């Protein structure tokens, strides 16, 4: 299929509402594509017809087989591309590989991110006043600079081709401040724990990067949007769940599949007139 065939469809050619979500023949890049949510986005886009590149730090054949065991050997199986989102040369190499394998990307989901895990070293999850500068730099290098570089490399190729959709994945903790009371149970048991600052600040940076690129590339046919996500269930401490879930109007953490429809909407022609926007999919967290 030629690049021209992968452009937005003429609305008059759409015969069914489901056609709006059809991305057959398009090439999608998902950073952090082998992670918990990245795997979901890869499956969703592949299921809607896209040729999907799962970009990750270690995306060899064995890693892809572990991530998508039921798709191995199927045309719908994503192909792995090993790359470091903080290294422009690595991303340029990845683009060349993707172009050789499938063509110029049409869809980019900037999903790769770094956060301090709950079991990180004490200085990582301690008070703001002593938060390590190196931790700040490390988180920003992935969450903000990594998105910037991916947009330069993959988005630049999309703009040159005259079409595309970029989705930058943000967080409720980039839109509003972390609710430190959620972690009070840890302080009650003697730990000095606070949700760190770098994740919030780095995710917040994506909103204006998105708006900047939406206006910069609008006439080039590239749409750029942000999606704001809430926490995803992944075996968290029951005490944390007991504090978190009453804070959500829907009463639960997100299931890893809950964001698939949002991603497909923003990637497809269903959102063909949506750019520079922030779609909040947080179970109502920010509605209080």
Report d(CA 232, CA 75) in Å as an integer.
29
Active-site residue identified among 41, 131, 173, 199: 199
- Which phi and psi angles does 167 have, rounded to 5°? -120, 120
Which helix (H) or strand (E) covers residue 173, if one does? helix 172-175
The pair of three-digit structure tokens given for residue 12, joined into one six-digit string: 């008059």
Strand partners, 52: 28
Any idea which residue has 């991530």 for tokens? 67
Close Cβ partners of 23 (under 8 Å, ≥ 6 residues apart): 45, 48, 49, 50, 106, 107, 264, 267, 268
Closest CA to 145 of 197, 175, 110: 110
Question: CB–CB of 209/150 below 8 Å?
Answer: no
Question: CB–CB of 227/170 below 8 Å?
Answer: yes
Dihedral angle, C-alpha 208, 212, 217, 219, nearest 10 °: 110
Whether 199 is catalytic is yes
DSSP 3-state of 68: coil
Active site residues: 199
């Amino acid at each position: 299929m030629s690049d021209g065939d992968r452009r937005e469809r003429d609305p008059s050619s759409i015969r069914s509402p489901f056609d709006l979500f059809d991305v057959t023949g398009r090439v999608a890049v998902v950073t952090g594509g082998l992670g918990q949510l990245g795997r979901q986005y890869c499956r969703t886009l592949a299921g809607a017809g896209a040729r999907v590149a799962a970009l990750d730090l270690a995306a060899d054949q064995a890693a892809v087989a572990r991530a998508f065991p039921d798709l191995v050997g199927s045309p719908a199986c994503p192909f792995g591309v090993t790359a470091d989102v903080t290294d422009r040369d690595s991303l340029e190499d990845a683009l060349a590989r993707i172009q050789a394998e499938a063509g110029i990307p049409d869809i980019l989901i900037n999903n790769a991110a770094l956060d301090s895990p709950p079991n990180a070293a004490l200085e990582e999850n301690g008070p703001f006043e002593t938060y390590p500068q190196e931790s700040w730099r490390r988180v920003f290098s992935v969450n903000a600079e990594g998105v910037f570089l991916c947009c330069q490399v993959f988005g630049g190729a999309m703009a040159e081709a005259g079409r595309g959709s970029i989705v930058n994945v943000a967080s409720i903790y980039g839109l509003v401040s972390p609710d430190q009371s959620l972690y009070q149970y840890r302080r009650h048991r003697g730990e000095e724990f606070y949700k760190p600052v770098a994740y919030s600040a780095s995710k917040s940076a994506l909103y204006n990067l998105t708006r900047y690129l939406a206006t910069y590339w609008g006439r080039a046919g590239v749409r750029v949007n942000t999606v704001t996500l809430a926490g995803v269930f992944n075996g968290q401490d029951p005490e944390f769940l007991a504090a978190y879930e009453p804070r959500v109007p829907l009463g639960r953490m997100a299931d890893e599949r809950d964001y698939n429809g949002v991603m497909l909407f923003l990637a497809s022609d269903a959102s063909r007139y949506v750019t520079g926007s922030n779609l909040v999919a947080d179970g109502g967290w920010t509605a209080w």
